[in-house]
Structure 1
Amino acid sequence: MTTTTPSRRDRLRTATVTEIKQAGRRLLVTGGPAAISLRAIARDMGMTAPAIYRYFDSLDALVRAIVTDLFEELRISVEEVAAAHAGAPPLTRVAHLARGFRRWSLAHPAEFALMFGSPIPGVTPMAADCSPANDAGARFAESFFTVLEEHLAQHPLPEAAESLDPDLRQAFQPYLDTFGDRFPLPVVYLFVASWTRLYGMVAMEVFGHLQWAMTDIEPLFERELHGTLRQLAR
């Protein structure tokens, strides 16, 4: 199989795209999601604003590219955590994945806000079929799906749980339309139910919404995590 070496022009374009995204991320970190703008990036890079449009045709496109990169970074981060415990039982690895997600989120609050928080003013919220950002988010979720599927292979769900209630199954149609049936719906359901619980905890902590009540959120997170694992173990 032969490979084609990118032309100098393509290499320069790739490098400029990377630099633009890095500049956008710096603005995100220093000023929050609303600080990202093509004009500010152009100024930071010594370019004219119209020149940016040769690489990204809109602010929406740039934000989606940054989100895509962030989901890939997050996925790699949590998978490295799980890989360090490769010999552990599946649910133990799920716990490490969740802890890895929390640690990354707390270390990158601005990035977390862009990925999971309120939409940026003037930027169209990402639709369910928004690729490649949505695909990157799905690959992050698959890190959990894969381990959950391994757990269910060892500990099958009770027969009553194998088929979801018809109304609940219908509610997952957007998932089926976008990603097909690679993972059984009960696995997807378990992930979504568990994710909602743990994501809520992490979001509250990242955004500082529990500071009025607690000085250290980790014990509460661990308690909720263990409760979630008990549910998955049934």
Structure 2
Amino acid sequence: MSSTAETTPRRRRRQELLSSSIVVARRLLADGGLESVTMLAVSREIGIAGPGLYRYFPSRADLLRVAYRDVLDELVAHVRAAIARQPAGDRAAQVQALTNAMFAWSVAHPHELDLLLGAGLRLVEDGAPVGGEFGGGTFYEVAALAFPPVVAQWADGAVWFDEPVVPELAADLAARRDALLAVFPDAPRDVPLGLVAAVRVAWQRTFGLLCMTAYGHVTEPDGPVRRDYVTALLDDLNARNLALFGLAPSPAAVLEPVFVPGSESGPAELGSESGPGEPASGSRPAEPASGSGPADGTAAPEALPAGAHPADEAGTSAQGGTGRRARLRRELVAQALRSARRLLDEHGPDGVTMQAVAKDVGIAAPGLYRYFDGRPGLLHATHQDVVDELLASVGAARARQPADDPSAQCHAVIDALFRWCLAHRNEYDLLMSGRLRISLPGDDTPGEPRHAPLMALDRVGAVFAPIALAWWRAGCRVLPDDELLPALVPHLRAARDAMRGIPGFPPDVPLGLLHAMNLCSARLWGLLTLTVYGHMGDLDGPAGAAHLDALVLDLAADALDVFGQKLSAAVVLVRDTPAPSDPVR
């Protein structure tokens, strides 16, 4: 018998085990997220001894890499199939189909999106590379599918891109163009960098709304995500993106619905997040709600963060207590949060466990449950602490600007936001994906969540509200109601009505102002998320500082232009910021 014949059964068995391992890993990922995909769990499912799996995957990181590639291939195939269903030659329909298909897949597969987005950050502990396959190439495989139709528009003379790009972005845009031309060799070689820049802007806008939707940051006045509102936001964004390329929405487009028709819950509905009235993250002014804590509307105790128990084991209130037990309790909670923040910074959210924190503070793990409502409570308190620190950072940046210069304030806040998040990537990971990763299994009743809502994007976005109001009072341009997409109007109106109870909120604020803030929020969170998770290239290298400056400047100029404003020459940007102070007092 030949050696080939002798090894065929072994090869077949190996291939079967590899395939089964990926199927199981994908199911574990879909059901419980990245944290649930372990070598032991996969081994048990496929029926081999734990060490046996290491013969096929040398490490958990190797298993996750293969799962990552399988997930990305599925997403790309899904989007390609959606594009193929469009009428031949209908460029607008192709771009619309790409966007809707990507949204629909991501909303239905939030944990898989989580892996694609944050693999470079979350797998570094397992030896996975931060760049390379988990870097700029990840989502560009999807975004690149929009290149042929928009290039055809330019080649036909239907749209021009004559304005020069920002010099500091030219090298990166040229590299992206070269990569696209290698994938699409039939495209003209002289594609202008301005077209690539326009594709990038459209992609950042779309990706921001995608992340806010999939991670559960887009809400409606009564709590859950309203599907027709998200769909209307996406339709509006599609129209604006198509306009960049001289296109309009196609009536012949065959579009996949973002949400499954008739479903009552979805991946984005992971709990009630926001307070009443914000049409999208970043649209509500900061305000203390009646009987609530600061700005975020949560009812946090004075001395204990959200997620920590407000009373000790004897029922003695720790809030405002002055006795020895209350003081010791506050000290232990503060020490536990310092430990959680250190673990988060070093290992990411998955590294923050009750066992690790208890060991660090020197108590038995069960004892920590007397102070925090399990691991979800610990993560929730850590989440709130991170938001407070980020708000302090961007608030200080705004305070350094002239009080009568909202343009300088806007630019400075964007700059500080990017720099803090890039210096605290794991903390940003928790803020963006908190509702997906902080699970509260079977503990909540409708309208009575056990923990205060996670409102990271809403609270940070609220910093921009006074700036936008200052522009409006000064007479900035906003879209009149009759020029807004009709499907958006009732949602924006309901949001404005809910905001009228906020002290100092103008009852006559135009809907166009709220919508303009939504547009800016989409691109802001899209570019920030792609940057923090390593999808905008290496910003830590020699040219990284100039590249980051150019990205922030371009974003700030675009946000200001939405309101008819220009960059301010008086802006004060701090480059050499001191190390963050201890966030826990």
1:145 counterpart = 2:116: no
Q: Distance in 2 between matches of 1:171 and 1:148?
A: 19
Alignment of 1:13-92 (within 5 A): 13-92=14-93
SS for the counterpart of 1:56 is coil
Name 2:238's counterpart in structure 1.
225
Mapping for residues 179-194 of structure 1, pairs under 5 Å: 179=179, 181-182=181-182, 184=191, 185-194=193-202
The 1:23/1:187 distance shift into structure 2, 3 A limit, reads farther
Determine the structure 2 residue equivalent to 1:154.
156
1:130 has 2:138 as partner: no
What's the offset of the Cα at 1:192? Answer: 2.3
* Paired positions, count: 228
Q: Report sequence identity in percent.
A: 23
AA partner of residue 41 (structure 2): A
- AA aligned to 1:158 is W
- Checking the alignment, whether the CA contact within 8 Å between 1:72 and 1:140 is kept in structure 2 is no
Which range is displaced more, 41-50 or 210-219?
A: 210-219
TM-score using structure 2 length: 0.35
The answer (yes or no) to whether the contact 1:74–1:104 under 8 Å persists in 2 is: yes
CA distance in structure 2 between the partners assigned to 1:67 and 1:109 by the alignment: 13
Q: Whose helix proportion is higher, 1 or 2?
A: 1
- Offset of residue 176 of structure 1: 7.0
Aligned-residue Cα RMSD (Å) equals 3.0
| Residue correspondence of structure 1 range 160-179 to structure 2 within 5 A | 160-161=162-163, 164-172=165-173, 175=176, 179=179
Q: Bigger CA drift: 179-188 or 79-88?
A: 179-188
Pick which of 114-123 and 67-76 moved more: 114-123
Q: Which SS does the other structure have where 1:203 is aligned?
A: helix
Segments of structure 2 that go 5 or more residues without pairing to the other structure are 185-190, 248-585
Unpaired runs of 5+ residues, structure 1, are none
For residue 451 of structure 2, what is the aligned residue in structure 1?
none
Equivalent position to 2:213, from 202, 205, 217: 205
Amino acid at match of 2:155: A
Q: Secondary structure in 1 aligned to 2:236? A: helix
Which secondary structure does the structure 1 equivalent of 2:211 belong to? helix
The two structures have a TM-score, normalised by structure 1, of 0.82
Identify the range of structure 1 (166-175 vs 15-24) with the bigger mean alpha-carbon deviation.
166-175
Q: Bigger CA drift: 204-213 or 67-76?
A: 204-213
Please give the alpha-carbon distance, in whole angstroms, between the structure 1 residues aligned to 2:71 and 2:102. 12
| Paired AA for residue 36 in structure 1 | V
SS at match of 1:232: coil
Larger Rg: 2
The letter of the residue matching 2:216 is: G
Q: CA shift at 1:134, angstroms?
A: 7.3
Cα deviations by residue, 1:175-232 (Å, 9 ceiling, x for unpaired): 479x375264444433322111101111111111112555231111111111111123
Change (3 A) 1:194 1:126: farther
Is the 1:68–1:134 Cα contact (8 Å) retained in structure 2?
no
